[in-house]
Structure 1
Amino acid sequence: MPADNSCISISGPWQHRFVQANGAQFHIAHAGTYSDTRPLVLLVHGFPQYWWAWREQIAPLAAAGFEVAAIDKRGFGGSDKTPNSADALLLTDDLIALVHSLGYDRAFLVGLGRGGALAWSAVSKAPDLFAGLVTVSSPHPRTLHRLGMHLTLRTWRHAIDSFLTPLAEKKLQDSRHIAQLLQEWSAPGNNGAAGQAELYTQALRLPGVARAALAQLRWTLLSQHSARGRQYLRESANPVKVPILAVRGALDPLLPPRAWNKDVEFARGSYELLTIAQAGHFVPEEQPAAFTDALRIFLQTHC
Structure 2
Amino acid sequence: MTDPATAPAAPSNQPASPVRLDVPGAKELIHRDVAANGARFHIAEVGDGPLVLLLHGFPQFWWTWRHQLVALADAGFRAVAMDLRGVGGSDRTPRGYDPANLALDITGVVRSLGEPDAALVGHDLGGYLAWTAAVMRPKLVRRLAVSSMPHPRRWRSAMLSDVKQTSAGSYIWGFQRPWIPERQLTADDGALVGRLIRDWSGPRLPDDEAVEAYQRAMCIPSTAHCSIEPYRWMVRSLARPDGIQFNRRMKRPVRVPTLHLHGSLDPVMRTRSAAGSGEYVEAPYRWRLFDGLGHFPHEEDPVAFSTELINWLKDPEPDR
Query: Is TM-score (shorter-chain normalized) higher than 0.5?
Result: yes
Deviations 1:122-174 (A, max 9, x none): 01112122221000001100111221217535423212221233221111113
Count of residues paired in the alignment: 295
1:182 is the counterpart of 2:197: yes
Query: Partner residue of 1:250?
Result: 264
Residue 170 of structure 1 aligns to a residue in which SS? Answer: helix
Check whether the contact 2:155–2:274 (CA below 8 A) recurs between aligned residues.
no
The structural deviation recorded for 1:236 is 2.3
Q: Structure 1 47/194 Cα, relative in aligned 2: closer, same or farther at 3 Å?
A: farther
TM-score w.r.t. length of structure 1: 0.92
Query: Partner residue of 1:283?
Result: 297
Match of residue 27, structure 1, among 18, 29, 42: 42
Q: Structure 1 67/200 Cα, relative in aligned 2: closer, same or farther at 3 Å?
A: same
Deviations 1:188-243 (A, max 9, x none): x3221665222112111112110111211111122322222222222222111211
Partners of 1:156 and 1:100 in 2: how far apart?
34
Check whether the contact 1:47–1:113 (CA below 8 A) recurs between aligned residues.
yes
Q: Structure 1 142/151 Cα, relative in aligned 2: closer, same or farther at 3 Å?
A: farther
Query: Partner residue of 1:167?
Result: 180
For structure 2, the 5+ residue unaligned runs are: 1-14
1:131 is the counterpart of 2:142: yes
Check whether the contact 2:52–2:118 (CA below 8 A) recurs between aligned residues.
yes
After TM superposition, the runs of 4+ consecutive aligned structure 1 residues lying more than 3 A away are none
1:149 is the counterpart of 2:165: no
For structure 1, the 5+ residue unaligned runs are: none
Partners of 1:301 and 1:196 in 2: how far apart?
31
The structural deviation recorded for 1:112 is 0.4
Partners of 1:250 and 1:53 in 2: how far apart?
20
Higher relative contact order (CA 8 A, sep 6+): 1
1:207 is the counterpart of 2:207: no
Partners of 1:160 and 1:294 in 2: how far apart?
33
TM-score w.r.t. length of structure 2: 0.87
The structural deviation recorded for 1:254 is 1.4
Match of residue 71, structure 1, among 53, 59, 82: 82
The structural deviation recorded for 1:84 is 1.2
Q: Which amino acid aligns with 2:261?
A: V
- Among the aligned pairs, what percent are the same residue? 36
Check whether the contact 1:44–1:73 (CA below 8 A) recurs between aligned residues.
yes
Partners of 1:271 and 1:194 in 2: how far apart?
35
Partners of 1:135 and 1:220 in 2: how far apart?
19
1:86 is the counterpart of 2:97: yes
Deviations 1:44-90 (A, max 9, x none): 00001100110110011011111111000001000011111322111
Query: Partner residue of 1:232?
Result: 246
Query: Partner residue of 1:216?
Result: 230
